[in-house]
Structure 1
């Protein structure tokens, strides 16, 4: 399949438009693999499951006060936060075979992302760290202690949307909204499991990680 890179620039509608783009492409886009790799404005992406918790309104207000726009993402999981120091990968494919073994996509992309990080010199491992935010069997962590990549997936009759977040810089800024929101949502959470790549490699940049990810997907980074 041909992978077409969507424009990485910020969308005019901000975080709300960011989370709406994937489902819109899944419903109405071309039958090609579409990839958007970008660094967003500060965003607190709640899942639909989160919105059913009694503490969700208070959690949304708390993250907003910390400068993170609360949105509801269509994928599963639970609250994830990201900002300009993160790299978000949204991968959309319209196909009638979307429901076939969705776990295979989790395995495949976890291996891909761990390989990218290993190639950059990190001790990247696949698996959940106890107490991590948005826990998942196919999270990627550093040294078995701090989560740095999380993924979520949406599957419909039209195809699939697979989204991943690579946390590159700014762990303290990510930790603050997670602490207050997870407390209000009533989820177990250990703030020490929040990690970024710069924790292990000071000076690593969003640009370098973005270029490495695009190369792994077989896409040339846009210039300018």
Structure 2
């Protein structure tokens, strides 16, 4: 079975250096828009890169924490903006040292199996860092924040998590990559959020018991300082090798028409939960 990374055409939408005014709510609205347009065949397979400053992205389950407001107040008091995303998972940290990559693909007649979507992103990351002689594993890292079966790790330390969003025959496979900075410091922030938002109260849902030492950035794991631009160059190199045509683009006319509606849905969801 040919890799989903191999596409006749890849459009890249780079929003990795827009700046601190670029809100994560906009990002999730954009990815939903891309799912709809790519799924309908109105745009080619698209890779979007994005960076958000001082943002904590919560999952739906996080909004059910018994003392959620206490946790949210802690985040806000420390300069972090909490939002709720529309894909699965739990709380993650986004800051200027974390690169997010979304691969938005059209579902073929038989659809894209969920594991195949995850495997596509795992393959991409392995190819991007193939020059380092360290194995990148995909397995759940107990003690990490937002744990899942496709946590990406090196030597048992998690540096990335993958999620998927499926909408209107489009699939967005999304990853956050901790490129630089301290993985354990980010984990300590999330651990304190859960401590305040859950306390000792029993909950139906099992929230993670976070152990900061199991999380790290790629710079820490590789023993060299990597920048967002370094990783962007590696991404572009791989996309170029996996397509006949790679080009930088923006939202097309159809997408610009769809975006306000999808963005408003995200805003409404956040007003409901937060």
Name the CA distance, whole Å, in 1 between partners of 2:103 and 2:83.
19
The alignment partner of 2:148 has SS state of coil
Distance of 2:187 and 2:168 partners within structure 1: 36
Q: Assess, with a 3 A threshold, how the Cα gap between structure 1 residues 125 and 28 changes in structure 2: closer, same or farther.
A: closer
| Secondary structure class of the residue paired with 1:211 | helix
Which secondary structure does the structure 2 equivalent of 1:104 belong to?
helix
Matching residue within 88, 93, 103 for 1:91 = 103
Tell me what 1:80 maps to: 92
Residue by residue over 1:80-134, the C-alpha shift from the partner in whole angstroms, topping out at 9 and shown as x without a partner, is 1121111110222344658531111112211321332342454422212221111
Map 1:1-224 → 2, pairs under 5 A: 1=7, 2-8=9-15, 9-10=17-18, 13-28=22-37, 30-95=42-107, 97=109, 99-144=111-156, 146-171=157-182, 172-183=184-195, 184-185=197-198, 186-200=207-221, 201-218=223-240, 219=246
Question: How much has 1:24 moved relative to structure 2?
Answer: 2.6
Question: Aligned-pair RMSD on alpha carbons?
Answer: 2.5
Q: Do the aligned residues in 1 keep the contact of 2:47 with 2:102 (CA within 8 Å)?
A: yes
Return the offset for 1:79.
0.9
Contact 1:96 1:159 in 2 (8 A): no
CA distance in 1, matches of 2:219, 2:173: 25
Structure 2 distance, partners of 1:112, 1:13, is: 26
Gaps of 5+ in 2: 1-6, 199-206, 241-245, 250-274
Structure 1 SS opposite 2:52: coil
Q: Number of residue pairs matched?
A: 221
Higher Rg: 2
* Larger RCO (CA under 8 A, 6+ residues apart): 2
- TM-score, L = length of structure 2: 0.71
Structure 1 residues 48 and 178: CA distance shift in structure 2, 3 A:
same
Cα contact 2:13–2:248 (8 A) shared by 1: no
